[in-house]
A and B are shown apart, each in its own frame.
Chain A
Amino acid sequence: MGEQRILQKASLGELFAKLIAGGQRILAPVKSDDRVEFAAVKTPDQIAGDYIQTTTSAKTAVFPRYETMLRFRLKGKDVDVDELTPEAKPTVLFGVHPCDAASFATLKAVFTWDSADAYVEPKLEKTTIIGLSCTKGDAYCFCTSVGGGPGDTRGSDILLTPIDATKYLAEILTDKGRAIVAAAPQLFTPANGEAKEPVLAKIAPRFAADKLAQKLSALFGKTDVWLNQSLRCIGCGACAYACPTCTCFDIQDERQRYGGVRMRCWDACGFGMFTLHASGHNPRAKQSERWRQRIMHKFSYQPERLKVLGCVGCGRCSRACPTDMNLGEHMQSLAETTV
């Protein structure tokens, strides 16, 4: 719940100015053609108003689609290698919907469990999330099935809810959130028990992810279920690349004549090449097996291994899918399948 304050919408400009003066970069949803994407802003008037979701998720702020890791120069038998650890800029992610904010727990779990990833972890450390509750959803949203909700505070350092046309209810949730308030304390005035629920979107739960997690391993062997669900899947990576929690990546070298770079880029479990051995053997040779992997990874393996769900119910995968694979619907159908 956190400490509650009121922030006037008209005060956002002053807040942004203070944050920028304090060395923060502000990334917020910005309209570009017919899409909305996170981009650097200076003033609140640059922020998109009416949208359900950004096309690309907030994960790009800490896990971009490609990132250079090493640069090398070949010198005969020897080679000079430079580590390229990117500078983690202090960043405020503003206007992050609660689903996207929740995804940072999954990102953090993957990139810090067992060993810390030198590219993602510093950026996570330097990122503050000012979330924005959802006042509307669509047929692809299913946050309430995966433990979230349109006013869920998880992942946000501050959560703003637009309780009326002029002001936000601000929930100050973490030390990072309190640091934001400290930058302009006069803008955050005392709250008087205002409720956020009346303005929140209504997202009816479709299934219960925690219950389904236990059932999934029993469904693993039901090949017909996976085949029927994935028949229309064409095996592209749109779902994975749109997803705020998908973290699978590839590491590749780009070679120029006397040098080059090692970089990593997004990869997707839907691609046949993803698990293909050099021998030609492929542990997940069929699209239905790859679809099953996608579901199992998010809803069974990650909850068991990392204690986080690999899905926040944002619905981006389904909006991006060229063949209208609707994840919420498929998960509901799995929940209704008898073992």
Chain B
Amino acid sequence: MEALQKKARALLEAGTVKVVIGYTAGTDVERARAFFARNAEQTQQLIFDARCCQNLATYLMKPEVKALGKAALVCVPGALRTLMQYAVENQLADETVLALAVTDAGEVVELPKFAAVEEYLAKMPRGLTPEQQQELDRIDKLPLEERWAFWAAELARCVKCYACRAACPLCYCSRCITDVNQPQWVPVASDPLGNLEWNVVRAMHLAGRCVDCGSCADACPEGIRIDLLNHVLAREASAHFGAEPGYSTRKDYALSAYKPDDKEEFIR
């Protein structure tokens, strides 16, 4: 934590960045919240510990945050993977954001270029958290009808607050398909059909792009396991197209790339 505060102070004082986007203490001991340190004094409020899980890369797409000037971004692994995908989708030019990773030992690693982020990620463990894996295994083993019943019950709770979309770094569309009304592709109401369509459309649009950061599920006020829904789609995309978004800046992610030898046996 001290190392992070020191680094942030140095970056702001040297004028390397205008803002350090990190975390500070939240309402209660279990929560941290995003914090925008814009001067040396404010860096005292930065923290980094197990509470810090929101994917802050989302803020890089927000106009008010862009307006603050060049940013250093305190990155959890999901945020680093997001930077990779932003690079792939041409949403971020190299060296426009300074990524800061905090090691388990509390050291701060500067990752100024995408290449450095890629290298750093290559050494990180991959895959879901044990809790996610356990829950997913449970759902996977359910018979089809029960699996459907599980998801129907999950999605029935959706209130269409779009917290998942707002928290998701890759839901950056300036006009989301659910806000398009000519035609009205996705029903507006948070009724069973509207909820199903919204969540499935979103998962489809994230297939092969989702970096499994889990921010959508963390954001959901109803506790719906959107992270697992998206992961299942990502898993399919990966199985069919070999995509593993978030680990490389190669511009061949499944949703935008066509290859003549793409498998098509899933089209029935």
Contact = CB atoms under 8 A, between A and B. Distances in A.
Do A and B share a complex? yes
B18 interface: no
A238 B31 CA distance: 17
A254 interface: yes
A35 B223 contact: yes
A329 B34 contact: no
A324 interface: yes
Contacts of A237: 159-163
Contact of B189 (A255, A265, A329): A265
B221 A231 contact: no
B33 interface: yes
Contacts of B200: none
A287 B62 contact: yes
A219 B117 CA distance: 43
Given A265-B160, A322-B163, A232 B35 contact: yes
Interface in A54-84: 55-56, 65-66
A255 B28 contact: no
A232 B55 CA distance: 12
B162 A271 contact: yes
Nearest to A32: B157
B36 A238 contact: no
A260 B81 CA distance: 44
Contacts of A33: 223
Given A66-B191, A231-B36, A250-B188, A241 B221 contact: yes
B159 A241 contact: yes
Nearest to B178: A273
A231 B162 CA distance: 18
A111 interface: no
B167 interface: yes
B33 A323 contact: yes
Contacts of B188: 250, 252, 254, 265
Given A140-B27, A234-B167, A265-B160, A254 B187 contact: yes
Nearest to A67: B189
B219 interface: yes
Nearest to B167: A322
Contact of B159 (A139, A230, A235, A266): A266
B5 interface: no
Interface in B4-34: 26-28, 31-34
A320 B221 contact: yes
Contact of A254 (B28, B32, B62, B189): B189
B238 interface: no
Interface string A215-240: 00000000000010011101111101
B190 A268 contact: no
A288 interface: yes
B166 A236 contact: yes
A231 B22 CA distance: 12
A222 to B, nearest CB: 16
Interface in B60-94: 62-65
Interface string B160-179: 11110111000000000001
B27 A66 contact: no
B184 interface: yes
A300 to B, nearest CB: 23
B119 interface: no
Interface in A259-281: 263, 265-266, 268, 271, 273
A145 to B, nearest CB: 15
9 contacts: A55-B221, A234-B163, A234-B167, A241-B221, A318-B27, A322-B221, A323-B33, A323-B34, A329-B27
Which 9 residue pairs across A and B have the least CB separation, nearest first?
Answer: A322-B219, A324-B33, A236-B166, A320-B221, A237-B161, A236-B163, A66-B189, A234-B166, A232-B34
Given A322-B218, A326-B27, 14 more contacts: A65-B189, A65-B190, A66-B189, A231-B34, A234-B166, A236-B167, A236-B219, A238-B219, A241-B221, A250-B188, A273-B179, A324-B27, A324-B33, A329-B27
